[in-house]
DNA sequence: TATGAATGAGCATTCATTCAT
DNA sequence: CATGAATGAATGCTCATTCAT
């Protein structure tokens, strides 16, 4: 039975995306068939092809959809606001968040892992890869803005090597992200606040030579 | 077809493993068919089934094979030797190595990425996953031994939280590993020695409370 | 969406038929989807279903439409007129026409070829086939009328076997049609007028025994 | 159950080709699925893919197979033999054959009609088309050789325009072929020998100017 | 030991058709 | 009159696996 209104159509689309996200996350891109997605979302395979041109097109759209609809990411974006008076605290707060169940949920999901598979070329296609590279760049730029904000507010040295500091933070955060997934951060948890302080302190050493 | 000697048989087996490694790395596990491997290694599909029970069995054997035959890993193992008088320097040297083309080659290969895919459940099977978890545990234990060596030699505090320190190092190293793959460590390179010093310095703060 | 007038509706119908003709001709019946036709004619798939019951119904209607609207066919029909005083010359003129770019255009089109496919049972359905058989019969009858006209005007023998003469002409004309399509009539062109004379001369031998 | 010997394998291949010929003939290329062929020949779909790379590859191989295995075609080829003392009679005999049930069986089959569909671009692919064009050329060349044989033996004028005569014969034969398929040669049958004589007589007029 | 032949389940995709709006 | 949304059956094709030789 064909859906009627535009609204219902959009709901169908969203539903397909949500189900695809769940299944791709659980079983990976290659191991999830469109049949699975159709069954899981209660529509016909044809319906998926009405909304998306192909399985890979579904993936590209999914990457975009997930990016826009992830709470944590919005939060991350806010911390670079020029009106923020204490960006360093905000930054620390944000980094601390990664450990939290709430935010780490997304970063630790196997969906993200699937995205890594795409980045590295054994899932999806060039379109999806390009989209992901773009999003990664956006994240790095955002991180740079946060750091520049800290410099502007006098919380980090004027002659800080912005790019190096950004990369250092990225290294730390992705290390946490990675080891948490490997269940190798349990003993670290109680030192976490202290560690984040140290990492931020380290940033100050990365000055222009 | 001619009977082959045991030696020749072993060579066939090794050849299949090498080719599988290359193809799995390039195209991923799911996207590589046994046909591909057969064609690439110049044997018939049937031959693969003589040496391995199934595609997944091939994968499990491959994980083991690769682990044993990777140069960098051997190097890593040596640094925990009790006879080592300056383990902290060796540790630093090892960590610095990750940045080097030579050692990072393996960690950064898409083969490792495939392994991550297995760890996260969208490639391979439980056997492969168990094998990998075991290897990861071995690495962490190795890292712990190195750190304990440093404590024994008086280079790290007696009351160090060994597990936390191990995890901290793992976080840092995997962060480097990850961001390097994302091409996000260029600006960081010139500070690298300095950063490693700081990270090791940080370890000293992770003491038993 | 706006109600359209009957005129506009007829234009839509005609437009669909024209586009179907073009696409069926180029790609064949099976390889042309209703989607293609819809896209090409700028209407929705649903619109096609408003004008035609099914894809096959569209085909049947198309056969009729094309027959009525082909210039060359009209010309052919005129040559049987009882008021024609020199039908044999007209016949010769018509046969000569087949070689001409103008008339052979239609007979040589892949659209006609598609029709042959229908005749032979691997496109369309029984309705379309019946329609085509009827049209073929009309052509043969027309040819018979032309020949009878020649007999009536004393240009062919009184005891001519009309059916045999008709078939003989049809054999010749379809042979030309076929080989022209195969690009096998180039050397024949300069003898063409002569050959047509001979063929017509041959007709005179097909008398009742 | 896998076939064992090479002989059995060749039989399977031949069987698939025979069944494909029958089904393509009855239903046309597009309307025959590989499932149909598999079912009809009692093998699995996979077996077809073992012997042929794709559906189109099956078609190309089929064209070749049919060409080689058609009795009438062999007969046709023999008539150009230089040792033949009365090639004109042989030619006439051959042309008469087309009308016969035996030889016309193949030419009138819907399989041949399918081939026409391929020639005209709405079945199969470029490979199949090229193969057919090649075969058509071979036929025309063969016809030319027969005619040259007649010239050599003094049965046709020395200054005959060989190409034009070849084309004229082709026109006649394909016209017969075509109209017979359309069931439009019944009345012509009793004049057939006479008509063939006339056609051959006509050839003598196609001399170099 | 190793191969070639064959199987069969599963997959992405296409498409004629339906129908509420 | 016409559209956009949805269905579901069918299709070409891939591939892990089996097995007689």
**Residue of B32, B55, B120, B203 best to disrupt the A interface, most CBs of A under 10 A:** B120
Query: Which of C27, C117, C181 to mutate to test binding with chain D, by most D CBs within 10 Å of its CB?
Result: C117
User: Does residue C3 register a pLDDT over 50?
Assistant: no
Cα dihedral A30, A36, A41, A42, rounded to 10, equals 160
* B-chain residue closest to A109, CA distance: B120
What pLDDT was estimated at residue B2?
45
pLDDT at position A52: 93
- Domain A6-66, second-level architecture: Orthogonal Bundle (1.10)
Phi, psi (deg, nearest 5) at residue C207? -100, 160
User: What whole-number distance in Å separates Cα of residue C28 and Cα of residue A160?
Assistant: 69
d(CA C41, CA A3): 25
Cβ of B40 near strand F (under 7 Å)? The reply is no
How confident is the model at residue C38, as a pLDDT?
92
The integer distance in angstroms from the CA atom of D9 to the C1' atom of F16 is 22
For chain A, what is the HEC assignment?
A: CCCCCHHHHHHHHHHHHHHHHHHHHHHCCCCCCHHHHHHHHCCCHHHHHHHCCCHHHHHHHHHHHHHHCCHHHHHHHHCCCCCCCCHHHHHHHHHHHHHCHHHHHHHHCHHHHHHHHHHCCCCCCHHHHHHHHHHHHHHHHHHHHHHHHHHHCCCCCCCECHHHHHHHHHHHHHHHHHHHHCCCCCCCHHHHHHHHHHHHHHHCCCECC
**Nearest residue on chain A to B193, alpha-carbon basis:** A206
**Mean pLDDT lowest among A96-105, A181-190, B172-181:** A96-105
The domain segmentation of chain D, as residue ranges, is 6-63, 70-203
List pLDDT tens digits, range D137-148.
888 888 899 899
C and A touching (3 or more beta-carbon pairs closer than 8 Å) = no
Q: CB distance C174–D170 less than 8 Å? A: no
- Chain C contacts of D114, Cβ < 8 Å? 122
Band of residue A159 on the pLDDT scale cut at 50, 70, 90: very high
DSSP D159: T
pLDDT at D71: 55
Q: Which residues of D67-86 are buried (b: 16+ CB within 10 A; e: fewer)?
A: beebebbeebeebbeeebee
Q: How high does pLDDT run on average in chain D?
A: 81
Q: At CB < 8 A and 24+ separation, what contacts does A146-150 make?
A: A146/A79, A146/A80, A146/A87, A146/A90, A146/A91, A146/A94, A147/A91, A147/A203, A149/A79, A149/A80, A149/A81, A149/A82, A149/A84, A149/A87, A150/A87, A150/A88, A150/A91
CB spacing of C188 vs D171 below 8 angstroms: yes
Residues in D touching C209 (Cβ below 8 Å)? 190
| Yes or no, beta carbons of B191 and A171 under 8 Å apart | no
Q: Report the neighbours of A using a cutoff of 3 or more CB pairs below 8 angstroms.
A: B
C4, closest nucleotide (Cα–C1'): F1
Distance of CA C108 to the CA centre of its chain: 10
Give the nearest partner residue to D185 out of C110, C167, C205, using CB atoms.
C167
Grade residue C109 by pLDDT with cuts at 50, 70 and 90. low
Sequence-separated (6 or more) residues with CB below 8 Å from residue C114: C24, C25, C28, C29, C123, D122
Contact between D41 and D19 under an 8 Å Cβ cutoff? The reply is yes
Name the residues in A37-66 having a C-beta closer than 7 Å to nucleic acid strand F.
Answer: 43-47, 49-51
Pick C121's closest partner by Cβ from D110, D161, D184: D110
Whether the beta carbon of A5 falls within 7 A of nucleic chain E: the reply is yes
* Chain B window 15-44, residues with Cβ within 7 A of nucleic strand E: 43-44
Residues of chain B with C-beta less than 8 angstroms from the C-beta of A206: 191
> For residue D165, is pLDDT > 90?
yes
Quick one: pLDDT at residue D104? 58
Which DSSP symbol is given to C160?
B
pLDDT at residue B71 is higher than 60 = no
A8 touches strand F (CB under 7 A): yes
Neighbours of chain B (3+ CB pairs under 8 A): A
Which nucleotide lies closest to B49 by the C1' atom and the CA atom? Answer: F17
- Using the CB atom, is residue D7 less than 7 Å from strand E? no
Helix (H) and strand (E) counts for chain D?
11, 0
Chains B/D: 3 or more C-beta pairs closer than 8 A?
no
Task: Judge whether residue A84 has pLDDT over 90.
Answer: no
- Pairs of CB atoms within 8 A across A/B: 150
Partners of A207 in beta bridges: A160
Interior CA angle at C82 toward C81 and C85, to 5°? Answer: 95
Q: Is the dihedral of CA D92, D95, D97, D103 positive or negative?
A: positive
Rounded CA gap, B111 and B99, in Å? 18
The answer to whether residues B136 and A182 touch, using CB atoms and an 8 Å cutoff, is yes
Q: Which among C29, C163, C171 is the nearest to D176, CB-wise? A: C171
| Range scoring the smallest mean pLDDT among A29-38, C121-130, C199-208 | C121-130
The nucleotide minimizing the C1' distance to residue A34's CA is E12
- Measure CB to CB from residue A120 to each of B31, B110, B186 and give the nearest one: B110
A179 CB-near residues (< 8 Å, 6+ apart):
A185, B167, B170, B171, B174
Taking the CA of residue A21 and the C1' sugar atom of nucleotide E13, their distance in angstroms comes to 21
% of residues, chain C, pLDDT over 70: 79
Angstrom distance (rounded) from CA C166 to CA C143: 6
Name the residue among A144, A67, C140 with its Cα closest to residue D187. C140
Split at pLDDT 50, 70, 90, the class of A140 is confident
Average pLDDT, chain C: 80
- Given a cut of 70, is residue D121 above it in pLDDT? no
Tell me the pLDDT of chain A averaged across its residues: 81
pLDDT at D190: 84
Closest residue to A122, CB basis, from B27, B171, B187: B27
Average pLDDT value for residue range A3-11: 75
**Structural tokens at position A134:** 């773009």
Of A55-69, A188-202, C115-129, give the range with the top mean pLDDT. Answer: A188-202
Residue C160 pairs with which residues in a beta bridge? C207
C81 touches strand E (CB under 7 A): no
Q: Token pair for residue D3?
A: 């076939």
Q: What is the pLDDT of residues B36-58, one digit of tens each?
A: 999 999 898 889 999 999 888 88
Between chain C and chain D, are at least 3 CB pairs below 8 A?
A: yes
User: Does the pLDDT at position C159 exceed 90?
Assistant: yes
Q: Is D179 exposed, middle or buried (CB count within 10 Å of its CB: 0-12, 13-18, 19+)?
A: buried
| Residue pair C31/C23 in contact by the 8 Å Cβ criterion | no
Return chain B residues 50..69 having CB < 7 Å to nucleic acid strand E: 50-51
Q: Give chain C's length.
A: 209
In the predicted structure, residue A208 carries a pLDDT above the cut 90: no
Question: Which pair of structure tokens corresponds to residue C121?
Answer: 């049972």
The residue in chain A having the minimum alpha-carbon distance to the alpha carbon of residue B121 is: A27
pLDDT tens sequence across C43-99: 888 899 989 988 888 888 888 787 655 555 555 666 778 888 888 888 888 777 776
Return the percent helix, strand and coil in chain C, to nearest 5.
75, 0, 25
- The per-residue pLDDT for D156 is 92
Tell the residue number behind the tokens 């009345």, with chain if given.
D187
Q: Is the pLDDT confidence value at D4 over 50? A: yes
Please answer whether residues A148 and A140 qualify as being in contact, where contact means their C-beta atoms are separated by less than 8 angstroms. no
Out of B162-171, C7-16, C116-125, give the one with best mean pLDDT. B162-171
Task: Classify domain D6-63 by CATH number.
Answer: 1.10.10.60
Report the alpha-carbon angle C95-C96-C98, nearest 5: 70
pLDDT band for position C132 (50/70/90)? confident
CATH architecture of B6-55: Orthogonal Bundle (1.10)
């Amino acid at each position: 039975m064909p859906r009627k209104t535009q609204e219902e159509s959009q709901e169908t689309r969203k539903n397909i995306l949500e189900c695809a996200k769940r299944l791709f996350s659980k079983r990976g891109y290659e191991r999830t068939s469109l049949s699975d997605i159709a069954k899981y979302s209660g529509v016909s395979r044809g319906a998926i092809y009405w909304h998306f041109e192909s399985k890979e097109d579904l993936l590209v759209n999914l990457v975009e959809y997930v990016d826009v609809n992830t709470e944590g990411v919005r939060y991350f974006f806010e911390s670079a606001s020029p009106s923020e008076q204490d960006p360093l605290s905000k930054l620390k707060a944000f980094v601390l968040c990664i450990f939290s169940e709430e935010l780490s949920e997304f970063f630790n999901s196997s969906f993200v892992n699937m995205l890594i598979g795409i980045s590295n070329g054994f899932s999806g296609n060039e379109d999806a890869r390009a989209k992901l590279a773009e999003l990664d760049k956006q994240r790095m730029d955002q991180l740079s803005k946060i750091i520049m904000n800290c410099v502007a507010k006098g919380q980090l040295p004027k002659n800080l090597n912005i790019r190096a500091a950004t990369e250092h933070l990225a290294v730390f955060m992705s290390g946490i992200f990675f080891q948490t997934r490997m269940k190798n951060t349990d003993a670290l948890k109680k030192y976490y606040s202290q560690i984040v302080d140290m990492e931020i302190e380290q940033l100050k050493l990365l000055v222009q030579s």
